[in-house]
Amino acid sequence: MSDDYLIKADGIEVSIGGRRILSHADARVGAGEIVTLIGPNGAGKTTLLRVMLGLMSADRGTVQRRAELTIGYMPQKLVLDPALPLTVNGFLGLGIPRGDTGHGRRLAVLDEVGAGLVADSPIGDISGGEMQRVLMARALLREPDLLVLDEPVQGVDVVGQADLYALIRHIRDDRGCAVLMVSHDLHVVMAATDRVICLNQHVCCAGHPETVSRHPEFVSMFGENVAAELAVYHHRHDHDHDVHGDVVPHHDHDHDHEDYSHG
Amino acid sequence: MDDFLIRAGIAGLLVAALAGPLGAFVVWRRMAYFGATLSHSALLGIALGLLMGVAPLFGVVAVGIVVALMLGFGNRGGKAGVLSEDTLLGIMAHGTLAVVLVVISFMDDVRFGLMGYLFGDILAVGTGDLYVLFGGSVVVLLALAVLWRPLLAATVNEELARVEGVPVAAVRIGYMVLLAVTVALAMKIVGILLVTSLLIIPAAAARWHSRTPEQMAVLAALVGGVSVLGGLAASYIVDTPSGPSIVVVALVLFVLARAMATVTR
């Protein structure tokens, strides 16, 4: 793979309170690429994201960013103290540099993410799905080179999830920005992901997701269109994890993903 | 009208103008206990100022800034982070108060008007005090104007603000220092025990009738201003203690604001 990356994490190790969260985790995102971090709960996906964002320091390992990289960040969820009165519009204004706070631009981006109707609503009154879109708008207003999304579909129903994933793909296609996101669902990964990194303390495997597998259950439950947005990523590991998370070698070693050594 | 009353009114309005926006942040950031700790430690500043022969105001500002920095830097997690900020604030608030009372007992030669500092003496505000208060208010409000956007962004969500390039820690400590200075300036007017209420009550009353943070800050300043004038009027006419009267009026306005919010819903 070329060295043309926007952000690159190498050999990240993090322990919290004596518990190993990440060991030798690597991840990189190239320009215009959609990379999804997947893995079970507690696999360290959000931790790796936080280290890459600079919100947390790693015990070992390095994070390199391209010079003057603008990041648009969409946190997992945002709980606002109801004591703070804030409209959606005011919230959006906080994320962009002073003097660049045109009302029209904010409305245009809200429309782009499909939340144009809530522009003047108090932020405490909008639904969870609308909030995700507003957070997305705030990230996009920064004209980012890299969009970082931490479980962007959390708290959104399944049809809304498909919409949001479709939106993420459109944004990438329209703006050409790269996307790095976390999904805690091992099985459902969007069709539009260019590369999947499967994490469980370390990188188990990484590679292009398999072509959409038209799982009959998805097709029957949500219809053809939604099913096309969702892919079931059937991947095989070269090892299993025992109950302690330690690696147990697998008999079957042939797989079609990039190989990672577990040092 | 008497000169002392006019001076008291101007001083009270200046404090209200400060306490409104800064108090809004106290409410938003859930720092009511921090405000209380600052005002308790202010008493230590006064005692130290008197002991060392410098103006009490400087002692208060100095101690307040030290407390703000200790809490701003001290609350960084790690091994020390197992105790909640709440607990640390409680220890500092009552610890400093106790130290002050012990220190005072050694100060036989200095008359220490403890009651005046606890409950304020707005009617004793002199022309010199007004100049200090006016200068301090202008500096604090200008600094707050500069800090407003990053501080608001960090208050809404600290991590988002950090990723977006806001120097969150510096902004927070800057705000704490401004709050310390405000407490020092307001202390003379309403007294240490009532400074926190002037920070919180007007801001809370303003919440139900604001759609934006800026509206809430301005409305809080207005509610504070009305409280000051109302309390002074009561104090003048009915001869009630001025500091507590101001807070009582603020309390009445708070209840009214709450009732109005229910009616208009």
Specify the pLDDT at position B26: 93
Q: For A70-105, what is each residue's pLDDT tens digit? A: 999 998 878 888 899 999 999 998 887 665 567 788
Is a pLDDT exceeding 80 seen at residue A140? yes
Is a pLDDT exceeding 80 seen at residue A36? yes
Ramachandran class of A138: left when φ > 0, alpha when ψ lies in -120 to 50, beta otherwise? alpha
Domain count, chain B: 1
Structural domain of A203 = 1-70+146-263
Comparing CA positions, the residue from B190, B210, B192 lying closest to residue B250 is B190
CA–CA distance from B30 to each of B82, B157, B200 (Å)?
19, 14, 10
Structure tokens at B44: 């230590």
Domain count, chain A: 2
Is a pLDDT exceeding 50 seen at residue A216? no
Percent of chain A with pLDDT over 70: 70
Specify the pLDDT at position A138: 92
Q: What number is the average pLDDT over the span B20-28? A: 95
Same domain, A64 and A157: yes
Same domain, A136 and A215: no
Structural domain of B136 = 3-264
Same domain, A168 and A235: yes
In this complex, do B160 and A138 lie within 8 Å of one another by their Cβ atoms?
Answer: yes
Same domain, A169 and A246: yes
Q: What is the CA radius of gyration of chain B?
A: 18
Structure tokens at B250: 């603020």
Are the C-beta atoms of residues B23 and B200 closer than 8 Å to each other? yes
* SS3 state at A248: strand
Is a pLDDT exceeding 90 seen at residue A151? no
Are the C-beta atoms of residues A207 and A196 closer than 8 Å to each other? yes
CATH of the domain at B225: 1.10.3470.10
Is a pLDDT exceeding 60 seen at residue A44? yes
| DSSP run (H or E) holding B167 | none
Comparing CA positions, the residue from A78, A91, A81 lying closest to residue A118 is A91
Are the C-beta atoms of residues A172 and A98 closer than 8 Å to each other? no
Q: What confidence tier does A134 reach under pLDDT thresholds 50, 70, 90?
A: very high
Specify the pLDDT at position B17: 95
Is a pLDDT exceeding 50 seen at residue A213? no
Same domain, A48 and A133: no
Same domain, A118 and A86: yes
Q: For B88-125, what is each residue's pLDDT tens digit? A: 888 888 888 888 888 888 776 666 677 777 777 888 88
User: How many Å apart are CA A160 and CA A137, to the nearest integer?
Assistant: 16
Same domain, A44 and A100: no
In chain B, which residues have their Cβ closer than 8 Å to the Cβ of A53? 163
Specify the pLDDT at position A88: 93
Are the C-beta atoms of residues B63 and B48 closer than 8 Å to each other? yes
Order of all β-strands in the sheet with A202-207: A71-74, A146-150, A178-183, A34-38, A195-200, A202-207
In chain A, which residues have their Cβ closer than 8 Å to the Cβ of B216? 85
Half-sphere exposure of A114 (CA within 13 A, CB side): 13
In chain B, which residues have their Cβ closer than 8 Å to the Cβ of A140? none
Same domain, A117 and A159: no
Same domain, A138 and A9: no
A167 in contact with B, Cβ within 8 Å = no
Half-sphere exposure of A133 (CA within 13 A, CB side): 26
Residue in the block written with tokens 């604090």: B140
Residue-averaged pLDDT of chain A: 75
Q: What confidence tier does A220 reach under pLDDT thresholds 50, 70, 90?
A: very low
User: How many Å apart are CA A237 and CA A252, to the nearest integer?
Assistant: 9
**What is the number of residues in chain B?**
265
Tell me the nearest-neighbour CA distance from A94 into chain B, angstroms. Answer: 6
Same domain, A138 and A250: no
List, in sequence order, every beta strand (DSSP E) within chain A: 5-16, 19-30, 34-38, 60-65, 71-74, 146-150, 178-183, 188-190, 195-200, 202-207, 230-232, 239-241, 247-249
Percent of chain A with pLDDT over 90: 17
Residue A248 phi/psi, 5-degree rounding, is: -115, 120
* SS3 state at A241: strand
Is a pLDDT exceeding 70 seen at residue A246? no
A68 in contact with B, Cβ within 8 Å = no
Angle at B229 between CA B15 and CA B215, to 5 degrees: 60
Specify the pLDDT at position A16: 84
Structure tokens at A162: 């498909």
User: How many Å apart are CA B127 and CA B175, to the nearest integer?
Assistant: 28
In this complex, do B149 and A98 lie within 8 Å of one another by their Cβ atoms?
Answer: yes
Residue in the block written with tokens 């009732």: B259
Same domain, A161 and A253: yes
In this complex, do B212 and A148 lie within 8 Å of one another by their Cβ atoms?
Answer: no
Which residue does chain B place closest to A96, by CA atoms? B164
Residue in the block written with tokens 């100060």: B107
Instruction: Please tell me which of A108-117, B63-72, B97-106, B153-162 the model is most confident about, judged by mean pLDDT.
Output: B153-162
| DSSP characters over A150-192 | ESTTTT--HHHHHHHHHHHHHHHHHH--EEEEEE--SSEEETT
Considering only A213-227, B35-49, B66-80, which range has the smallest mean pLDDT?
A213-227
Q: What confidence tier does B144 reach under pLDDT thresholds 50, 70, 90?
A: very high
Q: Which candidate from B30, B161, B212 shows the least CB-CB separation from A85? A: B212
Comparing CA positions, the residue from A111, A11, A99 lying closest to residue A59 is A11
Specify the pLDDT at position B86: 80
Last residue of a domain, one of A143, A171, A197: A143
Mutate to test the interface with B, among A46, A84, A136 (most CBs of B within 10 A): A84
Specify the pLDDT at position A72: 92
CATH of the domain at A217: 3.40.50.300
Specify the pLDDT at position A145: 92
Q: Is the ipTM of this complex over 0.85?
A: no
Is a pLDDT exceeding 70 seen at residue A202? yes
B interface residues, A as partner, C-beta within 8 Å: 27-28, 30, 149, 152-153, 155-157, 159-164, 204, 207, 210-213, 215-216
Same domain, A200 and A238: yes
Structure tokens at A90: 């005011």
Are the C-beta atoms of residues B65 and B180 closer than 8 Å to each other? yes
User: How many Å apart are CA A53 and CA A73, to the nearest integer?
Assistant: 9
